[in-house]
Structure 1
Amino acid sequence: MEQAVDHTKRTGTRYGMLALVFVNVVINYLDRSNLAVAASSLSKELDLSPVQLGLIFSAFGWSYASLQIPGGLLADRFGPRILYAFCLITWSLATVFQGFVRGFVSLFSLRLATGAFEAPSYPINNRVVTSWFPDHERASAIAMYVSGQFIGLAFLTPVLVMLQVHIGWKGLFITTGVIGLVWGVVWYLLYRDPLDHAEVNQAELDYIEAGGGVINRNKPVASGASVWQWNNLRQVFSSKTLWGVYIGQFSVNAMLWFFLTWFPTYLVKYRGLDFIKSGYLASVPFLAACAGLLLSGFVSDRLVCNGTSVSVARKAPIIIGLFLSVSIIGANYTNETYLIIFFMAMAFFGSGMALISWVFVSVLSPKHLIGLTGGVFNFMGNLASIVVPIVIGFLAREGDFKPALVFIGALGLVGACSYIFLVGKIERVVTRTVTL
């Protein structure tokens, strides 16, 4: 028997769907960062050099980045419910198997598999938010789900450290993988698209669509032809504005991937901190990043609601954040633990501010190519997940980590300049016929 729905007052079903995406992101980043927690112990047991460890840190990025465009196309072709459940279960299986590795090759291969199966996740996240939220709520919604990566890591990094202390790095991988397997089933049971959800009413659907939400896009297209055309790929590579946000996203992700890979090793090996103590201190920059992200998202949306131009409201927090991220270099000039953590937290706070950049995929991309644009955007950004861990491994191979921090800080400056000089007026890219 169907429940009566009050059609005069809009429902808030979109917030429930956002909560599901938030949990997806927490699990997503647990399975990306568990290697960073295990690295110190794992590298000793498997006899891995800093260069080998850098390569393993980057393995996730090789497959994740290279499959972003196919992942975006899949997000345009299939609904989030089935595709996300598939991704959650498969990447979680790869995580479980990492608990049984015996050397460099097997661990490298499984990290490649994890990256491959996680590849569609952020294009799907953006699809969900674009479908469920109007434009003026979009930055806040993105900030809320992206904050999952920081809130989860801030509060769960000490838990992961204690898990490794008590059950070892193998148990750490198995435990985090099993969590994802269970959640993949929960996601499939609970998530629905806007037009299919039993608890959403017409008032909420009208509110979303009137505000620019693309609720009809969640229906799989009848044919993939409109998505798989080469002209569509040219569209998302031919805009100077899009190139500006692509380069900016590379810079934002450079900071993120330092913290997801080398940061715990930096504290333990290069700063001589106790392993358990480092687990608690490592949570501070993640909390700072979360604060920066939420502040940026809500301030940006408030500016839009108050009549500030979209260009200023969306770009200003990102530019300010990227400039703040350069402060990571300050850690090179102190040996005081609290100052090291301060500079790390300040830099990650700035990087967190810049992570509302996903809003540009929603407001710039052609309406029928949101998944593809998101895939390209995430591909360009996640090239940092390949480049940064490897470059840091080489820069730190002689035991000096200072050049690595200069490298990360300089990329923040590049990103700020990209938004200042390349990203122009914020308006949706118009689809046009491209001739050879």
Structure 2
Amino acid sequence: MQDAEKSTQESTLATEQEVAKKGRYGILAMVFITVVINYMDRTNISVAAGALSEDLSLTTVQMGLIFSAFGWTYSIFQIPGGITVDLIKIRILYPFILTAWSIATIVQGLVSSFAALVGCRMAIGVFEAPSYPCNNKVVTQWFNENERAGAIAVYTSGQFIGLAFLLPVLAIIQEYFGWRGLFIISGVVGIVWAVVWYILYRDPEDNTTDQKAKVEKQEEAPAVMENTKFTVKDIAKVFMVRKLWGVYIGQFCLGGVLMFFLTWFPTYLVEYRGLDFIKSGFLASIPFLAAFCGVLVSGFVSDALTRKWGVSKEVARKAPIIAGMLLSTSIIGANYTDDTFWIVTFLSIAFFGNGLASIAWIFVSLLSPKRYLGLVGGAMNFIGALSAVSVPVIIGFLVSGGDFRPALVFICALAVAGMCSYLFLIGKIEEVKLD
């Protein structure tokens, strides 16, 4: 009898564990889709840029300001957004911000002035600000430490694989419905997904199957973080640690390289390399596919190094980021060729490197005390988002004379600076003392 009862218990536990595993992967798939929509609404402006600037008679400097307007509020609201993530359940917060930035995207397709476009981009920045702290909290709650780099790689890949396939689609949508239709359709997709998220997602404390299965296996359960009140002193603390500044500066440089691809890249291909609009959409997708490969290689290799081969965190977590930043410097090679194949090749290698370095969010989980997880994530994304403020405007000025080569030199310099940040500022990977 006891053997039969024990066998039944083991069978039940195995079933619960399988359900828990599928549940976590389902949640990760939801985060992935949300990231795709997030970046679609950030970057549809780059696809619309040519037609939009022609219709409204905008200069390259004005377009640079429109590109960067998202970053103004996105960066300012990172810390408030991170605190909000620590205070409000993800099931409630994510659908709200998704709906809000999608409405701003729709309005973007209805306005007709430079000032109104800037205002819409700023509104999108406000409501997208908590999104990546949300993503990081979901993964930290649902996945153990030795699974997180892979999980982060999967959802981060959404910004690359999603756009790789979406860029040609967005170009075709604009071809048939114009740049206004492009914004409206993008916004409607976001609102629909917000409803789906609210219906399907559950916070860990509301879904005990995963926790129960892990406790019975005597494994480390994913972290469940309590809501916390923050003071101004707490906010100051996360800017007073050298290790964290290594991550912050690295994120700025990583974001700077990314911002080139999210804003000026289609314009570079069409206006400076003479490609037609539809062809540029398909060619622009190749570097995004390369970045997708880079981020997956980075995440799963990094996890395998620590889990299977016992490689130290310093090597397993830092090496992909440093190697990725180094590869990103290859972007400068496009300055020395007029051959479309080699231009796309150099840009693809650079973006592969950017993808390889994109698991930087793992350092928030590794360095931050659990109480400060959202706040440190907000601080990191605040500094990183300053690249969205500055880089598009800087490029706008650099290319105003009709030459794009100085802009690529600038992007190369950012990659070098990011590599140095991880090499010399972070040091040993261990939880920092903030209390």
Asked if the contact 2:211–2:221 (Cα under 8 Å) also holds between the matched residues in 1, the reply is no
- The equivalences for 1:115-264 within 5 A come to 115-197=125-207, 200=210, 202-204=212-214, 210-211=219-220, 213-214=222-223, 216-217=224-225, 221=227, 226-264=228-266
Q: Cα offset for 1:203?
A: 1.1
What is the distance in 2 between the residues matched to 1:142 and 1:8? 26
Whether 1:20 and 2:34 are equivalent positions in the alignment is no
Asked if the contact 2:320–2:357 (Cα under 8 Å) also holds between the matched residues in 1, the reply is yes
Percent identity among equivalent residues?
57
SS in 2 for 1:141: helix
Counterpart for residue 6 of structure 1: 12
Whether 1:55 and 2:102 are equivalent positions in the alignment is no
Runs of 4 or more, structure 1, over 6 Å off, are: none
Asked if the contact 2:292–2:352 (Cα under 8 Å) also holds between the matched residues in 1, the reply is yes
Whether 1:381 and 2:381 are equivalent positions in the alignment is no
Asked if the contact 2:214–2:220 (Cα under 8 Å) also holds between the matched residues in 1, the reply is no
1:336-363 per-position Cα deviation (integer Å, ceiling 9, x unaligned): 0010000000000001000000000011
What is the distance in 1 between the residues matched to 2:245 and 2:97? 28
Asked if the contact 1:31–1:95 (Cα under 8 Å) also holds between the matched residues in 2, the reply is yes
- The equivalences for 1:33-432 within 5 A come to 33-197=43-207, 200=210, 202-204=212-214, 210-211=219-220, 213-214=222-223, 216-217=224-225, 221=227, 226-305=228-307, 306-432=309-435
Unaligned 5+ segments in structure 2 are 1-8
**TM-score, length basis structure 2:** 0.94
Asked if the contact 2:328–2:415 (Cα under 8 Å) also holds between the matched residues in 1, the reply is yes
Q: Cα offset for 1:430?
A: 2.0
Q: Cα offset for 1:212?
A: 6.4
Identify which of 32, 37, 60 aligns with 2:42. 32
What is the distance in 1 between the residues matched to 2:136 and 2:280? 33
What is the distance in 2 between the residues matched to 1:45 and 1:198? 54
What is the distance in 2 between the residues matched to 1:237 and 1:67? 16
Q: Cα offset for 1:210?
A: 3.9
Residue type of the partner of 2:183? F
Residue type of the partner of 1:304? T
1:216-244 per-position Cα deviation (integer Å, ceiling 9, x unaligned): 21x5x3xxxx4321232122111111100
What is the distance in 2 between the residues matched to 1:282 and 1:262? 11
Asked if the contact 2:323–2:353 (Cα under 8 Å) also holds between the matched residues in 1, the reply is yes
What is the distance in 2 between the residues matched to 1:330 and 1:211? 47
Residue type of the partner of 2:170? L
- Give the CA RMSD over aligned residues: 1.5
Unaligned 5+ segments in structure 1 are none
Asked if the contact 1:62–1:115 (Cα under 8 Å) also holds between the matched residues in 2, the reply is yes
1:90-138 per-position Cα deviation (integer Å, ceiling 9, x unaligned): 0000000111111101101000000101110000000000000000000
SS in 2 for 1:6: helix
Asked if the contact 2:238–2:434 (Cα under 8 Å) also holds between the matched residues in 1, the reply is no
Residue type of the partner of 1:238? M
Q: Cα offset for 1:8?
A: 4.0
Distance change >3 Å, CA 424–CA 251, structure 1 → 2? same
SS in 1 for 2:310: coil
Distance change >3 Å, CA 205–CA 69, structure 1 → 2? farther
What is the distance in 2 between the residues matched to 1:402 and 1:236? 37
Distance change >3 Å, CA 206–CA 345, structure 1 → 2? farther
What is the distance in 2 between the residues matched to 1:60 and 1:290? 23
What is the distance in 2 between the residues matched to 1:265 and 1:201? 49
What is the distance in 1 between the residues matched to 2:257 and 2:215? 38
Distance change >3 Å, CA 235–CA 212, structure 1 → 2? farther
Residue type of the partner of 1:52? Q
Asked if the contact 1:140–1:298 (Cα under 8 Å) also holds between the matched residues in 2, the reply is yes
What is the distance in 2 between the residues matched to 1:231 and 1:196? 32
What is the distance in 2 between the residues matched to 1:414 and 1:297? 22
Asked if the contact 2:46–2:266 (Cα under 8 Å) also holds between the matched residues in 1, the reply is yes
**TM-score, length basis structure 1:** 0.94
1:361-398 per-position Cα deviation (integer Å, ceiling 9, x unaligned): 01111111100000000011111001100000000000
